[in-house]
Amino acid sequence: MNRVATALAALLLLTACSSGASGSSEDKPEAGSSTGATPTGAATGAATSAANVPVLPALTATQVVAGLAGARYKCSNDAAYATCTSGAVSVWVLAGDQRRPPVISLYSAGPADVASGEIDKVLSQALEIAHVSEHAQIAEWFGQQQGKTSAKLTAGDWLVEYSVEVDTEEPGAHLTFTDKLCKSNCQAE
């Protein structure tokens, strides 16, 4: 329990220090692409408000899982993913040694509206723990997707994909975040 408490304290310190940062985006490592161009496919409002989003420091997959465990998610590992569960939602974090997880996915089983509602309950917290800087923008966008079966968004360096499974034996909702900057080992095999 001491390691989890220490990891959570370190994570909270990182979050507290980074959320109050007032430095310019030029001195932060994740401030977008090296060309300074707006990400392709980004909504106009998202592109203009992205400059105002404080950039959180990147966390490795191990640090994200430790943060989720510290937030009382129950975590386990398989070959490629760590799966952390809170209530009806599982957060899958692709393992690896990249500077941040190449894939983070939230999943909930059940009818589309129920499953999406369950994801919505933990979305902001899970993204804050994972240091996805655009967590507020993504949570707002996700709230607007209710009733849809699929949608996509580009937020910062993340490609966000929402899909629901209907008319299957195991209906549910998926919200998947893929790091557009990842160059190798970016998907589970």
Looking at the domain assignment, is residue 24 inside a domain?
Answer: yes
Looking at the domain assignment, is residue 184 inside a domain?
Answer: no
Looking at the domain assignment, is residue 72 inside a domain?
Answer: yes
Looking at the domain assignment, is residue 130 inside a domain?
Answer: yes
Q: Is residue 65 within 8 Å of 93, Cβ to Cβ?
A: yes
Residue 6: C-alpha distances to residues 3, 24, 69 (Å): 5, 30, 12
Domain assignment of residue 155, given as a range? 2-179
What does the pLDDT read at residue 20? 36
Structural domain count of the chain: 1
What pLDDT digit, counting tens, does each position of 45-100 carry? Answer: 333 345 577 888 999 999 999 999 999 999 999 889 999 999 999 999 999 888 89
